[in-house]
Amino acid sequence: MAEAYPMAAGVRSIGASTMQYIPELFSGKLQKKYRDALLLTQITNNDYQGEIKRFGDTVYIRSVPDMSVRRYYKGQTLVNDQPESVSQSLVIDQGYYWSFVSFDLDKAQSDLKNMINDWAAEGAIAIKVQVETDVLAGVIAGASAYNKGAAAGYKTAGLNLGTTGSALAVTRTDVLDLIVKARICMKELNVPSDKRFFLIPPHLAAVLTLSDLKAADMMGDDKSVLRTDYLGRLSTFDFYESNLLDTDGTYTQCLFGHKDAITFATQVTTSQMLPNPNGFGTLHRGLVVYGYKVVKPEALGVAVVAPSL
């Protein structure tokens, strides 16, 4: 064991044999961890979460059928439709767990009073981050073809929202162009203007705050966008900053749309404390199962952007 405190030249060291009587001190405070912001509840709905009971459950979601409208002529024989609701299935088929062991001697000798609770809480948060990362990447494929790619737009069909092979280098001078394109996509598919969202990475949030849109009145409320992960509302979208969007370093796939687009359901099915069968201690573990589905593809879009200021 070496001397911990620096000494002036010529001062005698008290020696290793004496040093063993100087106790080592461990802080009773756990070091704070920085975590990614969690925004899944802001961009999804959980309309069917109450119907889930266990891992493997399937919820069938029925939709209102389209109705045919025909021109009427006096005296004609009417044509009668036979409406049928089409159903989609939301399957709870994914899950994550955390598990650790605490030893009786550690608990007896530790000065960290809430050590076990802190570890369990960290496990729960780590799962949330992983689930959100999975969902944000997994829903991309479910977005309507009219709301992504180099020729987006249901009627316009010429709006470039970028691709993974040719991402958009959005700068402070043209960031509004991207937002307007997304708005056109939503409008052309009759997506309601309330509860729309736009999820963007930190580099695009920086572009937004450096542009003229940083003014509070441009964002539609009374606060500047230079604040939290909620950046404000612009052009019918609520903007959020996320570090969990799908990316490979050269591009990031931003998500925009309406909360009706994605349904998400999660449930903590198991949280256990039980004796360790292989030693003196306790096993602590938790299991979270979840499922998600793009139930309204027309209400979800993808913009692929490259880092650029």
3-state SS assignment for residue 291: strand
- Say which CATH number the domain at 138 has: 3.90.1690
Q: Is the dihedral of CA 89, 98, 134, 254 positive or negative?
A: positive
Q: At what angle do helices 202-210 and 175-188 cross, to 10 degrees?
A: 110
Residue 222: predicted pLDDT:
52
Across the chain, what does the average pLDDT equal?
A: 82
Query: 307 or 32: whose pLDDT is higher?
Result: 307
Rounded percentage of the chain residues whose pLDDT exceeds 90:
41
Please work out, in degrees rounded to the nearest 5, the angle formed at the alpha carbon of residue 142 by the alpha carbons of 125 and 136: 20
Examine the pLDDT at 118 and tell me if it is beyond 90: no
Residues 6+ apart with CB under 8 A from 257: 43, 143, 147, 186, 191, 196, 197, 299, 300, 301
28 domain-assigned:
no
124 within domain boundaries: yes
Domain count, the chain: 1
Residue 2 belongs to a domain: no
Mapped onto helix, strand or coil, the DSSP state of residue 140 is helix
What does the block give as tokens for 158?
């010429």
Domain of residue 145 covers 34-69+77-309
pLDDT tier, 74 (very low <50, low <70, confident <90, very high otherwise): confident
Q: What is the pLDDT of residues 6-29, one digit of tens each?
A: 666 765 555 554 444 445 544 455
Whether 193 is in a domain gets the answer: yes
Residue labelled with tokens 């299991």: 287
Asked if residue 260 is part of any domain, the answer here is yes
Amino acid occupying residue 183: R
Residue 92 has pLDDT above 90, yes or no: no
Residue 22 falls inside a structural domain:
no
Q: How far apart are the C-alpha atoms of 240 and 197, rounded to whole Å?
A: 8
The pTM score is 0.78
Q: Would you state the pLDDT for residue 89?
A: 78
Higher pLDDT among residues 84 and 242, named by residue? 242
pLDDT digits (tens, 9 = 90+) for 273-293: 888 888 888 888 888 888 999
Q: Is position 23 within any domain?
A: no
- Residue 301 φ/ψ, nearest 5 degrees: -135, 165
CA atoms within 13 A on the CB side of 187: 10
Residues 207 and 66: their CA atoms lie apart, in Å, by 42
Does a structural domain hold residue 25? no
